[in-house]
């Protein structure tokens, strides 16, 4: 009842007033429960100030080993910080997953492919330390929203980043991700990806293969930031080559609201958490 009262009071503001530039404001994290996980912050997976990660370990249920979800946040590869995504850590931990949320270096400090190299380094760290955290190193899933879904998709589909370790990824979950977004028309993106002469090599759809892990692609039908056709094209390509792809499209949901629907007060917007949990548990 408390959360529903808050939602009614904030209804006129809309979720976009609460979630700015893909970074949830403090009010969202202030509304989520804090008694169903233990959190460790700022564990280093590299030497840089943004090469750190936060971990959420469930406190309820069997002690483990539990499946692990590595979640990459969005922000156009230009902004965002892991602390803003406590609500994602809580949501997935409440369903029994050990959750890891890394920071990664951002443009204009770096360009493509450095954010993928950071992501691969974070995932490798998780694989090496999963058992210490109560996680199962044989059940590691990658997940992301927006630019973070791109990062997760590239790590899951393109073996340049994780090498032989890629085969240990059990599945990939993408929320509103860009997977097939050429030509680049945004000047920042043109500069960001200018380090790759063949831009096709920057697109997740290029790496669709029958050997890829199972994929769950979710988008909001009102998303005008990353159009749902990105998910449709990647799913179609995976289907063409014998891969496993599931799609989910939510009525009335736009780009930010799809990740916001993971937060405890806003789950009535769309059953994103239930759909993601059901997919992860099957894989």
**pLDDT confidence of residue 32:** 87
**pLDDT tens digits for range 254-280:** 999 999 999 999 999 999 999 999 999
Where are the domains positioned within the chain? 2-282
**pLDDT tens digits for range 158-168:** 999 999 999 99
Q: Please check the confidence at residue 241 and state whether its pLDDT lies above 60.
A: yes
**pLDDT tens digits for range 12-59:** 334 444 444 444 457 788 888 888 999 999 999 999 999 999 999 999
**pLDDT tens digits for range 183-200:** 999 999 999 999 999 999
- Distances in Å between the Cα of 43 and the Cα atoms of 46, 163, 265 are 9, 24, 28
**What's the CATH number of domain 2-282, 3.90.1300.10, 3.40.630.30, 3.40.50.1820, 3.40.50.2300?**
3.40.50.1820
Q: Please check the confidence at residue 233 and state whether its pLDDT lies above 90.
A: yes
**pLDDT confidence of residue 94:** 96
What backbone phi and psi angles, to 5 degrees, belong to 186? -80, 130
Q: Nearest Cα to 88, choosing from 279, 272, 241?
A: 272
Both structure tokens of 39: 């959190």
Q: Please check the confidence at residue 281 and state whether its pLDDT lies above 50.
A: yes
**pLDDT tens digits for range 107-132:** 999 999 999 999 999 999 999 999 99
């Amino acid at each position: 009842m408390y959360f529903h009262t808050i939602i009614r009071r904030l209804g006129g503001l809309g979720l976009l007033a609460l979630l700015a530039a893909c970074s949830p404001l403090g009010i969202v994290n202030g509304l989520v429960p804090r008694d169903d996980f233990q959190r460790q912050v700022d564990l280093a997976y590299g030497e840089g100030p943004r090469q750190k990660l936060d971990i959420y370990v469930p406190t309820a249920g069997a002690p483990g080993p539990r499946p692990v979800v590595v979640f990459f946040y969005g922000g156009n590869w230009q902004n965002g910080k892991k602390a803003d995504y406590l609500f994602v850590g809580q949501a997935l931990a409440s369903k029994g997953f050990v959750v890891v949320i890394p920071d990664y270096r951002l443009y204009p400090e770096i360009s493509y492919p450095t954010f993928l190299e950071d992501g691969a380094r974070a995932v490798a760290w998780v694989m090496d330390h999963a058992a210490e955290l109560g996680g199962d190193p044989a059940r590691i899933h990658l997940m992301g929203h927006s630019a973070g879904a791109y990062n997760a998709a590239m790590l899951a589909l393109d073996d340049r980043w994780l090498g032989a370790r890629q085969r240990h990824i059990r599945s990939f979950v993408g929320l509103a991700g860009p997977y097939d977004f050429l030509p680049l028309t945004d000047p920042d993106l043109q500069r960001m990806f200018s380090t790759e002469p063949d831009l096709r090599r920057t697109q997740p759809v290029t790496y669709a293969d029958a050997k890829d892990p199972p994929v769950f692609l979710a988008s909001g039908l009102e998303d005008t930031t990353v159009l749902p056709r990105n998910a449709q094209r990647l799913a179609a390509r995976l289907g063409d080559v014998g891969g496993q792809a599931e799609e989910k499209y939510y009525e009335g949901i736009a780009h930010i609201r799809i990740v916001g629907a993971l937060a405890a007060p806003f789950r009535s917007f769309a059953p994103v958490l239930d759909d993601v949990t059901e997919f992860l548990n099957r894989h």
